[in-house]
Amino acid sequence: MRVLPTAARRALRLSGLLLALALGGAAGAAERYIDRTATDYDIVTMADGKPVTCNVESITSDGAVVISEPGHAGTRTIPAGQWRGPIEERRTLAQAVERRGKQALDRGDLQDLVETLKWAREKKVTDAGLALAEKVLVKQPTNTDIGTLALQFYIEKGDQNPKAEALARRLLAADPHWNAGFEFVAKLLASDAARAEDLATFVQEWLKAQPTAFTPNKIIAGIDERTGDFKGAQEAYRKCYEMHKDIESGLGYARLSLTRGDRDKALDVANALIHAGMFVDEAKVIAGSALLAQGDGAGALGLLQDAIKGTLSEGSAKLARYNLGLALWRGGQGDQARSLWKELGTPISKLALAILERAHFNEVESLPTPGLKSLAKQLNACVDLEHGHHAEAALLDRTASKRDLFLAELGDMIKSGISGESLRTIAGTTGDESLRWQIYGQLLTAHYAEAEALLAHLPEDDGYAAVYRVYAAEGRKDGPRARDLYQKAVASKNPPRDYLARLSAFYASALDESETEHFNWPPGEAPGGTWQYSAPGTNIHLHAANGQLLIEGTQSASPDAVSRAWKVVARDRLKAMRATFDLTGVGAATGGVELLDDQRANGVELGVLSDNRLGWRELKSGAWGEWQPLALQVQGTKAVLVLELNAGRVLAVSADDVLQKFPIGSPLPVAAEELSVGVFGTSAPGAAWKIAVDEVLFQYKATAAKPRQ
């Protein structure tokens, strides 16, 4: 079948139409819709409406049409009057869309236009389909069915976002219930991180029109949760879960209920998810955390232990480990709690460790919520106050809470000096903490009877009360009773270690001329007896195991690179200390013994250097000097290091020849009535090392002083 050139075919179609009209060839009949299909032939419609599939070869001057037909040789002529125009030319898919669309548009046949546009999408004729949709929208500017199809064409083209967004917003203004438009704009905005604020604003507009619709509530729930609007997020998740039965939103609803303190609701929804077998591991984290908040530590423990064995998001894994540590700690397993929190290393777990160890917290601004930041500031004020300082308490907002006011009042008392008036002020706050501070004030002002009267209101095993009773008895000059009370203080519940160490420096050394620590402590991270640990930011782990004190880990960069364990000893009682080390795993680290003032700002360290020689360095006003070598050397991996204190001077003593002594450092400050004496390890960042301490021997002089408060 011969195909005419394009220009010739157009001429034929035009001339055929003109001739058909001129000759009256069925001019009044309605034009038949072309089929929605591509063809490689022409169609001539006979006067009786029967279509003839053919190739139009020519149209004669008298209106006859010359055609050739598939399967027939030669041509035949259809006289004018036996056919009617227009001739339906062969067409591509795009031409089919264009021509069928024009027919429907001319007739105002909206349903046929919709079907033609759907067919164009099905056949992926995007350009022609979009062109037709845009033409229809000129005549039907608020038709959302056509708008929906137009948006789909824009999406398929992929480079028409501004036009598409403008169309969607225009139609939404006319029909605020057009879901396809809302979803298109929301998806478009969500794909551009720079338009996050536009997305939030748009979704709020969507919710005004459709307050219970699923998609905008699901989107706004995520936005609100990320930006800290937990109340809004909780409500949006609730709608999605309760009204639309979306299980994933149920997890969000439970999570936000827990975040906002609605423990009962969090537990109910989390249990429902567990029973349904959906998001089980995540739901166990929420259920366990809710039980813990309700005081059911035993119930929480099992759920949290199960959860961390499963598959969790990063946030849920951190929450599970933190709360598991809290459940362990409340259950009396403090060592396991410490290990979990140290391993976790999040701002919240670091705060928990600081609270556990009564240590200053330096990363307040890293905490995620105002409540946690307030708690950290209160902790810092407490630590400051316990050391006799008031600067942190002065920074608290007295109007924020009763506790902030109480701590600020304590700061005023420390700043201005303890008086009857200041003690009456803090007595206005009830509770054990207030009682402890009142007792502290009475002891410092030598009102021992008043202190003992207040002590009667604290529990018998309260650690602070146990220590205060010793000071009260000593103040009344009842030495035998004070010694008995000291033994009870050692066994009391979580006594303040600084004060217990001071008592130990007096009473323990007063009873013996020597004291040996073999480190036969229960395994774990809590120091035994009156020993104390410090490893600020070093990532080094101090713990007892198998009769040794182990100092080990991979060193992290830290302003203070020294990890240490020490006891407080009265200066006028200490004669010497001797420590035995196993340095098998020391690597590139330096370990040894140290003797510092009670503020650990001045003193000396004696250590085993990398070449197995002994060396020393001095601490002055908190700054370390360089290592200085000594003419002493360690053989093998066992090392014995000895320090002696004589008339304020520190001497390094040879373990093999006690007559061989080397003065090291400057004389200790005269004001240092108590000393921190112990063992240490330090290294450059990145080094993995381990030092084992087998035993430490303290030798004392025969004199004793009154314990310092």
pLDDT of residue 19: 42
How far does Cα 468 stand from its chain's mean position? 41
Instruction: Give the Cα separation of 285 and 308 in Å (integer).
Output: 8
Bond into 707 cis (ω within 30): no
Q: Report in angstroms the alpha-carbon separations of 531 from 429, 517, 564, 592.
A: 33, 10, 10, 16
Rounded Cα–Cα distance for residues 55 and 68 (Å): 5
- The string of pLDDT tens digits covering residues 655-674 is 887 778 899 988 888 777 88
Instruction: Please tell me which residue, 284 or 670, carries the higher pLDDT value.
Output: 284
What pLDDT does 509 receive?
A: 53
Average of per-residue pLDDT values in the chain? 87
Q: State the average pLDDT over residues 635-645.
A: 91
For residue 353, the model assigns a pLDDT of: 86
Q: What is the predicted pLDDT for the residue at 14?
A: 42
Flag the least confident range among 25-34, 292-301, 620-629, 685-694.
25-34
Residue 508's pLDDT is: 57
pLDDT above 80: residue 491: no
The residue ranges of DSSP E strands in 31-98, in sequence order, are 42-46, 51-59, 65-68, 76-78, 83-88
Backbone angles phi, psi at 332, to 5 degrees: 85, 10
Position 288 pLDDT exceeds 90: yes
Residue 510: per-residue pLDDT: 53
Phi, psi of 80, rounded to the nearest 5 degrees: -60, 140
Q: What share of the chain is helix, strand, coil (3-state, %, to 5)?
A: 50, 20, 30
Q: State yes or no: pLDDT of 2 exceeds 60.
A: no
Structural domains in the chain plus CATH codes: 6-91 (2.30.30), 516-700 (2.60.120.200)
Q: Is 617 exposed, middle or buried (0-12, 13-18, 19+ CB in 10 A)?
A: middle
pLDDT of residue 507: 66
| Band of residue 707 on the pLDDT scale cut at 50, 70, 90 | low
Give me the residues paired with residue 44 across strands.
52
The mean-pLDDT minimum among 94-103, 281-290, 510-519 falls in 510-519
Q: Compute φ and ψ for 239, nearest 5 degrees.
A: -60, -45
Looking at residue 490, what is its pLDDT?
78
From residue 23, alpha-carbon distances to 20, 82, 211, 667 in Å are 5, 11, 64, 128
- Measure the CA–CA gap between 432 and 455, rounded to whole angstroms: 10
**What are residue 565's DSSP bridge partners?**
533, 679
What is the distance in angstroms between the CA of the first residue and the CA of the last residue of the chain? 115
Mean pLDDT of 113-124: 94
Read off the amino acid at residue 327: A
Give the confidence band of 703 by pLDDT, cuts at 50, 70, 90: low
Q: Is the pLDDT of residue 65 over 60?
A: yes
The reported pTM is: 0.57
Q: For residue range 121-133, list pLDDT tens digits in order.
A: 999 999 999 999 9
Whether 572 shows a pLDDT value over 90: the answer reads no
Q: Rounded mean pLDDT of 322-344?
A: 86
Note every long-range contact of 204-208, with CB atoms under 8 Å and residues 24 or more positions apart, other chains counting: 206/182
pLDDT of res. 155: 84
Ranges assigned E (strand) in 223-283: none
Residue 222's contacts (CB-CB under 8 Å, 6 or more residues apart) are 233, 252
CA dist 511 and 262 (Å) reads 56
Peptide bond into 86 cis (omega under 30): yes
The number of C-alpha atoms within 13 Å of 388 and in the hemisphere containing its C-beta is: 6
